[in-house]
Every structure is written in structure tokens, then in C-alpha cells.
């Protein structure tokens, strides 16, 4: 059932932003340290050589939206999905889980931009059904629940090294495959 003609790109904006800010940068990213979402979209289109439906999930529970960001997302081809709910609800997670369940009922492949293990049951179902499923994340921060699915067929793509979503080199401490090691980076 793979290569059905559409790749659904689902972006967990909260998770990517929190991981980048808290775990990698130790603070709020500057504009040049933020992902270039147009590159993520281009990568998604090229990964499996099929059209992409790009959905960017946002938490709008506070009643407001970052309109300039939403307009920029729309301009490059994303469909922003601003969700709201009660303070105890993880609205973005719930929205993405429901979307993954809906995709399982139709044809299509999935690229998920998140590190969150909450999506493991839905991702497992898609992988086991023979779908092409990929994870766009910082590998060292990917939940074990998702990382463990690579043996079952989940493909992983690093946002910085594979997707090349950043204009600057991030200050990451990660395991470097020897064929990627560039000593000049450290001199």
C-alpha cells in the first residue's frame, strides 16, 4: 500500500519548538535559529516523490494566533490547524492522533514532525499496515516509543542534517556517524 500518491506532512509545532528551545538552545530561538518550514515542505515532497498535504498544528487555546506566522505558513503551502480546548487537554496531540487515525482509513503516507511518544500507537498501526511512515525530528530527542519503531519500518529523518531545515548550525551534542564526521567543525 505504499506510494499511494499523497504524503501527509503533520507538524507538531509545539513539540518541535519546545525541543529546539529547551533541549537544544536552552532558551527561546532567535529568528535565524528557527526551522525553515519551506525546506521541510520541499523535503517532504522529495522524500517519496509524491504530492504533499502539509498540516501544521497549533495550540490556540489562549484565544489568539501568531497571525504573521500563520500567514507565512499559508503562503508556503501549509494548512494551519489552530486547535483549542480545556487547559488540561493536549489539543495538538489530540488533533494529530485523530488525523493519524483518519489517514489510516484512507490511502496515503505520513511524515510526522514530532518527538512525542504519544503518537506511537497510531504510527505503529500505519507502519504495520505497510504505509511509508517517516519521522522528522532531532534523533537524540526522539521518544523511545517512536525510535523503537524503526525496526518495524519507521523511517527517521533528522531535521538538521537530513532535512537541512536550519540556516545555522545548532549547538547539539549528538552521536555522529563516522561518515558524517567533519573535523573542521571542531577546529
Taking only the tens place, the pLDDT of each residue in 119-153 is 999 999 999 999 999 999 999 999 999 999 999 99
Going along the chain from its start, the domains and CATH numbers come out as 7-186 (3.40.50.1010)
- Enclosing H/E stretch for 43: helix 37-47
Residue 168 CB neighbours (<10 A): 11
For the chain, percent of residues with pLDDT exceeding 70: 98
Question: Quick one: cell of 173?
Answer: 551534542
Q: Is the pLDDT of residue 169 over 90?
A: no
- Average pLDDT over the chain, rounded to an integer: 93
Give the mean model confidence (pLDDT) for residues 20-31.
92
Q: How confident is the model at residue 174 (pLDDT cuts 50, 70, 90)?
A: confident
pLDDT of amino acid 2: 43
Q: Which among 153, 132, 160 is positioned nearest to 47, based on CA atoms?
A: 132
User: What would you report as the CA-atom Rg of the chain, rounded to the nearest whole angstrom?
Assistant: 16
Q: How confident is the model at residue 27 (pLDDT cuts 50, 70, 90)?
A: very high
pLDDT of amino acid 127: 97
| pTM listed for this prediction | 0.91
pLDDT of amino acid 175: 73
Question: Quick one: cell of 165?
Answer: 531545515
Amino acid at each position: 500500500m505504499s506510494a499511494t500518491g499523497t504524503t501527509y506532512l503533520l507538524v507538531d509545532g509545539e513539540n518541535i519548538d519546545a525541543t529546539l528551545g529547551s533541549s537544544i538552545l536552552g532558551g527561546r530561538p532567535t529568528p535565524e535559529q528557527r526551522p525553515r518550514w519551506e525546506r521541510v515542505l520541499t523535503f517532504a515532497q522529495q522524500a517519496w516523490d509524491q504530492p504533499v498535504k502539509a498540516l501544521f498544528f497549533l495550540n490556540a487555546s489562549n484565544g489568539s494566533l501568531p497571525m504573521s506566522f500563520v500567514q507565512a505558513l499559508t503562503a508556503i503551502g501549509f494548512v494551519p490547524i489552530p486547535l483549542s480546548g480545556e487547559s488540561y487537554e493536549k489539543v495538538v496531540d489530540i488533533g494529530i492522533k485523530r488525523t493519524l487515525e483518519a489517514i489510516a482509513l484512507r490511502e496515503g503516507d505520513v511524515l510526522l514532525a514530532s518527538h512525542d511518544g504519544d503518537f506511537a500507537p497510531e504510527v505503529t498501526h500505519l507502519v504495520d499496515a505497510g504505509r511509508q511512515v517517516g519521522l522528522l525530528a532531532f534523533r537524540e530527542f526522539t521518544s523511545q516509543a517512536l525510535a523503537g519503531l524503526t525496526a518495524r519500518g519507521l523511517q527517521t529523518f533528522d531535521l538538521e542534517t537530513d532535512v537541512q531545515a536550519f540556516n545555522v548550525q545548532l549547538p547539539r551534542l549528538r552521536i555522529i556517524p563516522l561518515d558524517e564526521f567533519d573535523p573542521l567543525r571542531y577546529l
